[in-house]
Amino acid sequence: MTLLELEDVTASYGPVQVLEGVSLSVPEGGAFGILGANGAGKTTTLRAISATVRTGGRIVFDGKDIRGLRPDQVAALGIAHVPEGRGTFGDLTVRDNLRVGAYLRKDRKGVDQDIDYCLDLFPNLQERITSNASALSGGEQQMLAVGRAIMSKPRLMLLDEASLGLAPSTAKNVYDAIRRLRTESGIAMLVVEQNANLALNLVDGATVLETGRSVLTGTSAELKGMDEIRRAYLGG
């Protein structure tokens, strides 16, 4: 069953139109990638879903058009956005960051269990649990950002450039953990990534954006090693 469906979605920052018509769908429990060069509109597609940019077209989540909601209302439906640049709360401790993620939940026990789950998934955070987020390394902050999203018990996670600015080995660790999360939790994922290899090892299928439009959509197996992918990234 389709969980999220984007139909001909447009988006603009003021007078500048960034998305010219993006369509994609994410099945329940599935993972879908958005690939493309810088400025192609990947991040804006995620922002369109989480209502932080003005949009046109149709964005249907769980059978309901969610355009026009506020970002916090979108989050309350079960969509957790892990933004580009991580967006952790620098002056809050790691534990408090996780607790903010669980703000809408009332099940105290479940929250404690999920904090333990996050620490098991990202053992680095265990040692830093009382540190302020601003004192963490880039990789640890990325883990914390994903952890905060887990804490809201989402049905869909929007992951924006989780590898950005990380050493290759750290990026691989982060993606290994996200893959484990996917199999263990069944959370559906929409993944924006400039590192196509990392993304295609996580998702089932992906679409390639060029100047705000989907130019190619396929399964991960089809897309791996395709010329268009290389062209989209290298501009060749």
Partner 1 sequence: MGTFIQLVVDGLSTGSVYAAIALAIVLVHQATGLINFAQGGMAVLAAYFAWWLTNQGLPLIVAILLSIVFSFALGAVVERWLMRRFERGDPDTAVVATIGLLTLITGIAGWLWTYNNQQFPSLFPLDTVSFLGVSVSIRSIGTTAVIVVAMILLQALFVGTKLGLALRAVAINPQSAAFSGLPVGRLLMVGWGLAAVLGAVAGALVAPQLTLTPGMLDNALVYALAAVILGGLTSPVGVVVAAWIIGVLENLAAVYVPFIGYDLKVAVPFILLFVVLIVRPQGLFGRKTVVRV
Residue 40 near residue 209 (C-beta atoms within 8 A): yes
Chain residues 57-76 in contact with partner 1, contact rule CB under 8 A: 70-72, 75-76
CB of residue 220 vs partner 1: minimum separation in angstroms?
Answer: 27
Cβ count within 10 A of residue 113: 11
Q: Is 10 in the site for partner 1 (CB under 8 A)?
A: no
What does residue 21 show for φ and ψ, rounded to 5 degrees? 140, 90
Pick between residue 128 and residue 148 the one whose CB is nearest to partner 1: 148
Question: The dihedral of CA 150, 155, 160, 162: what is its sign?
Answer: positive
User: In whole angstroms, what is the distance from residue 232 CA to residue 213 CA?
Assistant: 12
Q: Is 11 in the site for partner 1 (CB under 8 A)?
A: no
CB of residue 71 vs partner 1: minimum separation in angstroms?
Answer: 4
Q: Is 107 in the site for partner 1 (CB under 8 A)?
A: no
Pick between residue 103 and residue 168 the one whose CB is nearest to partner 1: 103
Cβ count within 10 A of residue 219: 12
Residue 9 near residue 22 (C-beta atoms within 8 A): yes
Pick between residue 72 and residue 184 the one whose CB is nearest to partner 1: 72
Chain residues 149-188 in contact with partner 1, contact rule CB under 8 A: 149, 151-152
Q: Is 135 in the site for partner 1 (CB under 8 A)?
A: no
Q: Strands, DSSP E only, in the chain?
A: 2-13, 16-27, 31-36, 54-61, 64-65, 79-82, 156-160, 188-192, 205-210, 213-219
Piece in contact with partner 1 (CB under 8 A), picked from 82-90, 121-129, 185-193, 220-228: 82-90
List residues binding partner 1 (CB under 8 A): 50, 52, 70-72, 75-76, 80-83, 87-92, 96, 99-101, 103-104, 148-149, 151-152
